[in-house]
Structure 1
Amino acid sequence: MHVAPRGGYSIKNSKEFIRRYESYLKPTLKIAQLLLSAGNLVIPQLENVPIANNNTVPLETNTPEYRQDMEQRLKFVDILVNQIDGKQASRRGTDLREILTYLELVDNEESLGNLDPITTDDGHVRWICSEHCDGISFNDNMSSNINDFNVMGGKFDRKTKEAVVIGVNVTERNVKMICGALTKGFNIVKLVFQDCSFYEGYLETLLDTIINRSSIRCLNMTAVTVTKFFGGVKYTCKNMVVEFKNQSLKVRFNDNYHNGNIPMLNQLLLRNKIHRTLNISACDFLGHESDLQRCFESNRTVTELIVEYSNNIYILNAIFNSKTNALHQLKLPQSLSIPSILSPFCELLKKNTTFVEVDLMDYTGFKEE
């Protein structure tokens, strides 16, 4: 799996494009059909595809069963891709030389996503990722990224792909370097900032890249100070762990409220463009439920909300009274364990106009009542 920073390309002369590249498109569609069929989505046969179709297909597939099924399908796809790649070797590559002429808004560096064209010894042209394109070149780029990262005061472990930055005042130049490397294939799985400081605008830029256009699966911030443009501390993120997985943002602040919890969560929601599920713990916002409600209202992308330990009426009010049209699904694991809040919860449920699906996960309290 490699980072693909492009969202796609408009195709000129679609009919001729499909006719000319049918032998390449059919295997691609077979793979897409295999993956998307898990979500009960259907991709039409190539000959039935409309020439102009800009509709996007919503992927509301955030169930554990779907994820487990998808993992099995991905393993099978790896096998299928290898088989297809072997068959492609026998085809002539002349047509692929001209693929750019059919695409609008091609990158300045003339790459497709972060794919590069190569010509094999027998004259075939292939578009492949830089890692597979040239092992030496890829290693040089990786070494360059790691060197730049070390120069700014960070450390990168090649084996675990964990990057750590400790005690650094992160500058605009540092942020541009990190974002540029991430969007060009620098594969960081876990990124840690400890005892660092950011100007708020630089942090926003970094979060946008991390959330939407990187391979990072875990972001950890400890004692990170966020400053105003003209100096002065705006807030401090004492301890935050964000996990990015299967279109889900799991955010934890160590079960303790600090003045940086709300602004950091708000920044994550404002920058997020692709993750559909937000998973938080009510313990991180006790005493500040009204601020959390306003944070929910800044959301435009998340459709499913998971809130652990929802055991007081104030957190439930924040959830059900938020004025947002985006949230549709609610899950309350390890919640509603205090009998005194069950009746108020039922009243909120009666007046609910936001959520179309509410999963209590654990309803032992209702049995006692």
Structure 2
Amino acid sequence: PTLKIAQLLLSAGNLVIPQLENVSIVNNNTVPLEMNTLAYRQDMEQRLKFVDTLMNQIDAKQASRRGTDLREILTYLELVDDEHSLGNLHRAVTDEGHVRWACQEHYDEISFNDNTSRYINGFKVMGGKFDQNTKEAVVIGVNVTKRNVKMIYGALTKGFNIVKLVFQDCSFYEDYLETLLDTVINRSSILCLSMATVAVTNFFGGIKYTCKSMVVEFKNQSLKVRFNGSYHNGNIPMLNQLLLRNRIHRTWNISACDFLGHESDLERCFESNRTVTELIVEYSNNIDILNTIFTLKTNALHQLKLPQSLSIPSILSPFCELLKKNTTLVEIDLMDYTGFKEEAFVIKLLDTLREH
């Protein structure tokens, strides 16, 4: 753009030197006679107007690019933030006219501190506690009510920073649980949700199921779910609800150890998913687990990662056969620090991938 403007100004054949502050007298004899004519001045005026228009167009393009980036953010947040609060950020205009997006703490510190105290007291009233140093909220032995969920919802969606949320020996009415999970997964800064012996009740107060142990970590659009090696039937309905509520996390990280002997439950969990396109399965050394993953009918996986897996020779050849029949995977990651010792498997794997 600068080159275009310079070429345009120089095309008149002369340079226009601006008046200097410390020069009080202008020597009119230094200005060529042809530049004093009405036609020349009109021509130069038209050129300067064109330069001004060109500059406005350039500025508009730059603003458009910035606007496009902002629209992409807003479009992304439309799925989880229909109030367009831009992830609890506030719009502020600097003295220079630039737009800044600031969190509540840096936008209005007094209001932020008041709200934080109110949310902490809310946790105390419901029977929980909050550690301001670790940002961990713990609720133990509480029948979580609609009012409690509303308080948690308000805190999380207004920027209250909880890193870890723990429910232990608690009970939820199923509708309240759905609201809580939707908020935690899609509209909060929580990095870890831990549930231990959490009962879910129906409208009449009867227990539908009890989640014995489930830890969920949220990071970079990834859901890492672990049952801590202790399978229990009640964990699966809770996991199903988690996947049903999820709208932004595209990667699901699980351990095959949590589903050994219960491959049908794993398949049902996939049926609950509408967002996940990448699966990470640790310790996948069971052909039944692999068969479930590769024969899914309701979900098309695009990426598959199998860390610390395929270490049993008997499953290597069947794995290649499953991979050969797959038509949805576009990326597969099998390498880790353990590597492969079976040369025949590596050769067959490469041949399979070459034909995939």
TM over 0.5: yes
The TM-score, its normalising length taken from structure 1, stands at 0.68
**1:60-75 matches, cutoff 5 A:** none
| Contact preservation (8 Å) 2:213, 2:230 | no
Residue of 310, 315, 318 corresponding to 2:289: 315
User: Alpha-carbon deviation of 1:231?
Assistant: 2.3
Alignment pair present for 1:226 and 2:243: no
Aligned to 2:178: 204
Equivalent of 1:366 in 339, 342, 356: 342
Work out which of the two has the higher radius of gyration on C-alpha atoms and give 1 or 2. 2
Contact conserved, 1:199 with 1:227, CA < 8 A, in 2? yes
Give the paired residue count.
281
Question: Distance in 1 between the 2:218 and 2:110 partners?
Answer: 30
Q: Distance in 1 between matches of 2:74 and 2:302?
A: 18
What CA distance in whole angstroms lies between the structure 1 residues aligned with 2:110 and 2:210? Answer: 42
1:335 corresponds in structure 2 to 309
**Which of 262, 267, 279 is 1:305 aligned to?**
279
Q: How does 1:48-197 map to 2 (within 5 A)?
A: 114-116=88-90, 128-197=102-171
Change (3 A) 1:161 1:121: same
Secondary structure, aligned partner of 1:316? helix
Task: Give secondary structure in 2 for the equivalent of 1:307.
Answer: strand
* CA distance, structure 1, for counterparts of residue 67 and residue 304 of structure 2: 37
Kept after mapping to 1: 8 A contact 2:270/2:299: no
Match of 2:63 in 1: 46
Given the alignment of the two structures, is residue 289 of structure 1 paired with residue 306 of structure 2, yes or no?
no
User: Does the 8 Å contact 1:301/1:326 carry over to 2?
Assistant: no
Give, in angstroms, the shift of residue 256 of structure 1: 2.2
Contact 2:213 2:227 in 1 (8 A): yes
Separation (CA, whole Å) in 1 of partners of 2:106 and 2:65:
34
Within 2, Cα distance between the matches of 1:358 and 1:163?
Answer: 38
Q: Deviation digits for residues 226-255 of structure 1, max 9, x if unmatched?
A: 122222221111111111011111100001
Higher relative contact order (CA 8 A, sep 6+): 1
Give the root-mean-square deviation of aligned CA atoms. 3.4
Deviation at 1:126, TM superposition (A): 7.4
Partner SS, residue 364 of structure 1:
coil
Counterpart among 190, 208, 211 of residue 237 in structure 1: 211
> Given that residues 320 and 354 in structure 1 are in contact (C-alpha distance below 8 angstroms), is that contact kept between their aligned partners in structure 2?
no
Match in the other structure for 1:214:
188
| Segment of structure 1 superposing worse, 115-124 or 315-324 | 115-124
CA distance in 2 between partners of 1:290 and 1:272 (Å): 21
- Aligned equivalents of 1:181 and 1:313: distance in 2? 45
Q: In 1, distance between residues paired with 2:302 and 2:97?
A: 53
C-alpha offsets along residues 294-316 of structure 1, whole Å, 9 cap, x if unaligned? 21122111111001111111111
Report the CA distance between 1:341 and its aligned residue: 1.4
Please give the alpha-carbon distance, in whole angstroms, between the structure 1 residues aligned to 2:277 and 2:105: 35
- Once residues 74 and 204 of structure 2 are traced to their aligned partners in structure 1, the CA distance between those partners, rounded to angstroms, is 44
Residues 337/354 of structure 1: CA separation in 2 closer, same or farther (3 Å cut): same
Identity of aligned residues (%): 76
Change (3 A) 1:160 1:54: closer
Q: Which runs of 5+ in 1 are unaligned?
A: 1-18, 27-43, 60-104
Q: Deviations over 1:152-183 (max 9, x none)?
A: 01100111110000000111111111011100
Inter-CA distance 320–121: structure 2 relative to 1 (3 Å threshold): closer
Would the aligned equivalents of 2:273 and 2:299 in 1 still touch at CA under 8 Å?
Answer: no
